[in-house]
Amino acid sequence: MSDDVLPTGTPPSSVATGRPPSSIAVGQPSPSAATGPQSTPVAASQPSMPVPTPRPRLLVIGGSLKHVRKARELGLDVVHAQFPDEYDRGHWPHVDQALLLDYGDIDRLLPLVRALHEAYPFQAAVSLFELGLLSAARVNEALGLAGESVATVELLLDKGRMRRYLDARGISPVASAVGRSARDVREFVHAHGFPVVVKPVSESGSLGVFRIRDPADIDVVAERFRSLDGQLAAKDLSRADSFDEFLIEEFLDGPEISVETLSFDGRHVVVAVTDKECVGPGFVEIGHAQPSGCSPETLREVTQLVTDFLDAVGLRNGPGHTEVKLTSRGPRIVESHNRVGGDRINELAEIAYGIDMERYALGAGFGLVAPLTTSPEPQGAAAIRFLTPEPGRVVEVTGVDAVRADPACAGLHLDVEPGDDVPPLTWNEDKVGHVIARGATATEAIAHGRRLAAAIHIRTKPVS
């Protein structure tokens, strides 16, 4: 194991602002991470006595550059645990100390965090990224800091346990079972009928989600699920054994929404309800919109369900992203996460409601943002439309400049250029970009989003 200790110093002249933080790189750094000679951990690089700080300090685990930037803008000192290949000079102005390692490996993370905490005490660990949630909870628990309990986070991450937990309490009952084989699926179908859904017990982003409509699908889906093992990097998975078993659930009919919440000492406030458009047997989300077009009666019912759910799982503070199906039998919980929703949902909430949930997640515990007392009223509407061109090799991309200049465009991001390959759409990471549109109403924003997305032409050709 190589441990590179990088002292604080002056950045290269090409960096106009900021300075490189003190950094400890653990494991094999990527070319973009600083590297050094093979060595053992260098305790001398840390002061022997705690150093007082004029402002509160936060450990941010994983996530994107904008998260540490927002923490700094709130006036926080920032310690950042990040994968080496996802940390670069752009982080320097916002980070005081960096731990560069696989932060999902708690046995490696915790000793380094504990040593750093003794020298540079921080008040809490936070993650706004799925793969950092459990590490943040374990750090807080080990160091006696404020944060969501390990029990709550583990329950939310394990969909099978969560289903059993809710069923035992009569909350959002859904038939489910954990299986490992096609035979397990057949037994579940024998008891509950078709269609059913098979998905990983502890992943997100529509990864490995399959709908089974008839007996012919069972063996095919079981094989496709097993084939996912080894296709993704370990750092992109919640667990190394994610594809050893799967959750089997009854199919929930009806449209899907998500409920975006902020909790303050056990008091839950609904910030927004997001309408979703999902496609394919894997229910990949290709569009979102706020505010929701649901009736007031439905929104009241959903709000009560989600509030009861958050109470039941023990979520006390911070953001929540809870997916709900509006079935013919009433609303049912699909899954939930103690983080802000992905797919730019926070950006939609900023446009539609003027609320940056990430700032609340980072700063509310320090009293840097005032707690919400009631749900905000919409100030407008926003919609996102994802770009899903035909699979193949990108030949040409046109229309980008015109879309950026359109008054309805609130954001545009494109992940591909000529020469890149577009995969078949099977989960969220297969989407190649998005357009965010604003409007006076959600209907108008959705229409603008579809129009703008259609104006971006990504021409592909088959890959031989």
Per-residue pLDDT of 81-91, as tens digits, reads 999 999 999 99
Q: pLDDT grade, residue 102 (50/70/90)?
A: very high
pLDDT at 16: 28
pLDDT at 227: 74
pLDDT at 229: 67
> Global pTM?
0.87
pLDDT in tens, 149-169: 999 999 999 999 999 999 999
pLDDT at 17: 34
Give the largest CA-CA distance in the chain.
68
Triad 132, 136, 139: Cα angle to 5°:
140
pLDDT in tens, 352-370: 999 999 999 999 999 999 9
pLDDT at 202: 79
**CA neighbor of 313 nearest in space, from 333, 292, 288, 296:** 333
Is the pLDDT at 237 greater than 80? The verdict is: no
pLDDT in tens, 19-45: 466 666 654 333 333 333 332 232 223
Residue 443: its H or E element: helix 442-455
CA distance 387 to 420: 14
- Those residues whose C-beta lies under 8 Å from the C-beta of residue 100, and which sit 6 or more positions away, are 23, 24, 25, 26, 27, 29, 33, 82, 83, 84, 87
pLDDT at 113: 97
Q: pLDDT grade, residue 48 (50/70/90)?
A: very low
Q: pLDDT grade, residue 201 (50/70/90)?
A: confident
Quick count: other Cβ atoms within 10 Å of Cβ 33? 21
Residue 288's alpha-carbon distances to 35, 114, 170, in angstroms, are 42, 40, 30
Percent of the chain residues past pLDDT 70, beyond the cut: 84
Average pLDDT for residues 37-63, to the nearest whole number? 58
pLDDT at 28: 38
CA distance 96 to 8: 9
Percent of the chain residues past pLDDT 90, beyond the cut: 76
Fill in the amino acid letter for 52: P
Higher pLDDT, 206 or 105: 105
Q: pLDDT grade, residue 259 (50/70/90)?
A: very high
- What separation, in Å, do the N-terminal and C-terminal C-alpha atoms of the chain show? 41
Is the pLDDT at 297 greater than 80? The verdict is: yes
Is the pLDDT at 403 greater than 60? The verdict is: yes
Q: pLDDT grade, residue 3 (50/70/90)?
A: very low
Least confidently predicted of 18-22, 197-201, 208-212, 434-438: 18-22
Average pLDDT for residues 36-58, to the nearest whole number? 49
